[in-house]
Amino acid sequence: MDAPRVARLGQPPTFSRRRALHAAGGGLSTLAGLGLRHSSAMTQSGTPIAATGQPASELAAVDAVMDALMTRWELPGGQLALAKEGRLVLNRGYGLADVERGEPVQPTSLFRIASVSKAITAVAILTLVDAGTLALDETVFPLLAFAPPPHATVDPRLATITVQDLLVHAGGWDSAQRFDPQGLPFSRTAAAMVGLADPAEAATIVRFMLGEPLDFAPGTRQAYSNFGFNVLGRVIEHVSGQPYEAYVRGHVLIPAGITSMRLGRTRLADRAPGEVRYYAPPGQAPGWSVFWGEGYAPFAYGGSTYLEALDAHGGWIASAADLVRFATAVDGQRGPALLTPETVQVMVTTPRPPTGVPGTGYPGVTAEVTTGLGWDMIPEAGGVAWSRAGALIGSTAAWMNRRPDGVTIAFTVNTLPPEYNDFLNDAITALGQAVDEIRTWPDSDFFLPEATNTPEV
């Protein structure tokens, strides 16, 4: 693969390598200098893939697609959830959550979901809009009133960035031109500039960026920005008076019937109860640890990213069923709606400015995404699909998609294949085609109150 072209966190510099992961974001970083070793954790071709959870004969073709994807892409473990009109009709785990211990993936296992987190943050912001405590046209940095680094020159355009600009990736930062401050080595620089401990926390990175010039005038074009969603997390904290995680759990997740989701942690030793283990793909060498003085570490566990600082743009861990619960709760397709109908309409139809990059596309489409707050709204027959993908080098890939035909799909895996664009497009296309061919749907509904993996409040 031509992985060395992937230069920065969440934003490969050219469309040929960006097509799927432009939508994914949340954790791509330099892959230059990789070796050629093959991870012993990968599933070998021809080995049957064990599955957990209740099968459905009507959906056997979808199971077969997951089995084929697991084998073809040598994935240790994965998960798939499928809903029809708000009923969870399939919820299964595939392969191994922990290869060393031989532990299978369960339907309740938790995975890092990377930039799928952005949709959750967007809905949390919109609950504040519904509550009348925040407006989409409110300027964010005068609201936050963070102190810039000592002796910094502050770009006056920062004061004009609105909540909506951040939700449509139009805040003025272009990581393809310069850098993404959410990853190494920039987060370490941020901590040093602000004079706080390394690795830099999310708020420290925001303060550091107050001393950096913008790449373009806010609102004039869109350029994928992990950092913009970091800022949105700080807006949630300021307006609500609660930590980001606490507000999201109380106003988005618990109302959607989700109790197991939480923010992930960087170190393997801090893995949450029920969370899978993550495995490097073939040929991926360790990276320099985000924890100063610890030398090299696997990309999944500190060798690329300090996960705690990714919170609002890429830090959540969840099951595939959690993602389906969330997607079907936003407008009340299942249970009480998280947002008012008027706000849902705004979420779906708000236009995005042009990218200015010819040929920019997302998985399964050839044109740039032109609408959507936090979600990628993809035109399909009968309406628009709400889509969101995520990926973290050395860790995971995840995808959720709520289709206009009433079907919602989500999958998660515990590695990211080197040819990640091909993998995501393969998985999205194959699963979509299998769902298109379903003629009879099960009557079952596997949405049950959660009783495991519940974080302390």
- R_g of the chain computed on alpha carbons: 20
Distance CA 142, CA 229 (A): 17
- Confidence check: pLDDT of 362 > 80: no
pLDDT, residue 434, reads 97
**pLDDT of amino acid 369:** 85
Least confident of 54-58, 195-199, 319-323: 195-199
> Which of the pair, 185 or 59, is modelled with greater confidence?
59
pLDDT band at 446 (very low <50, low <70, confident <90, very high): confident
63 — pLDDT class (breaks 50, 70, 90) = very high
Residue of 218, 207, 107 whose CA lies nearest to 156: 218
Average of per-residue pLDDT across 105-118: 97
Cα 101 to chain centroid distance, Å, stands at: 27
Q: Contact, 201 vs 308, CB < 8 A? A: yes
pLDDT number for residue 176: 85
Tell whether the model's pLDDT for residue 117 goes beyond 50: yes
pLDDT of residue 187 exceeding 60: yes
Residue 12: pLDDT over 50 = no
What's the pLDDT at 366? 52
State how far the Cα of 122 lies from the Cα of 142, in Å rounded to an integer: 20
Query: 189 falls in which pLDDT band (50, 70, 90)?
Result: confident
Q: Please report which confidence band the pLDDT of residue 38 belongs to, taking 50, 70 and 90 as the band edges.
A: very low
Helices marked H in 320-372 — which ranges? 320-329, 341-349
At residue 196, the pLDDT reads 67
End-to-end CA distance of the chain: 44
Condensed to tens digits (0 to 9), the pLDDT of residues 375-420 reads 999 998 899 999 999 999 889 999 999 999 999 999 999 999 988 8
pLDDT at 45: 45
Average the pLDDT over 358-367 and give the result.
Answer: 53
pLDDT given for residue 15 in this prediction: 23
Residue 22, both tokens: 């432009």
More confident residue, 190 or 283: 283
Write the CA distances from 150 to 100, 188, 414, integer angstroms: 48, 16, 41
Dihedral sign computed on CA atoms, order 236, 168, 410, 342: positive
Judge: domain 125-246, CATH 3.40.710.10: yes
What is the average per-residue pLDDT within 180-203?
77
pLDDT at 23 > cutoff 70: no
State yes or no: pLDDT of 334 exceeds 70.
Answer: yes
Cα angle 423-283-28, degrees, rounded to a multiple of 5: 55
The pLDDT value given to residue 395: 93
Residue range(s) in the chain whose domain bears CATH number 3.40.710.10: 125-246
pTM of this structure: 0.88
Query: Could you tell me which residue, 361 or 234, shows the higher pLDDT?
Result: 234
Residue 48 has pLDDT above 50, yes or no: yes
pLDDT tens digits for range 280-305: 987 888 888 888 888 899 999 999 88
- Res 21: pLDDT: 39
User: Which pLDDT score is estimated for 454?
Assistant: 38
**Average of per-residue pLDDT values in the chain:** 85
Q: What pLDDT is attached to residue 289?
A: 86
Q: What is the pLDDT confidence band of residue 39, given thresholds at 50, 70 and 90?
A: very low
Provide the pLDDT for residue 236. 98
What distance in Å separates the CA atoms of residue 265 and residue 95, rounded to the nearest whole number?
A: 23
At 181, which amino acid appears?
P
Pick from 1-5, 169-173, 374-378: least confident: 1-5
Q: Which fold has domain 21-32+42-100+261-436?
A: Beta-lactamase (3.40.710)
Predicted pLDDT of residue 20: 37
DSSP, res 225: -
pLDDT value at 35 more than 50: no
Of all residues in the chain, what percent carry a pLDDT higher than 90?
Answer: 69
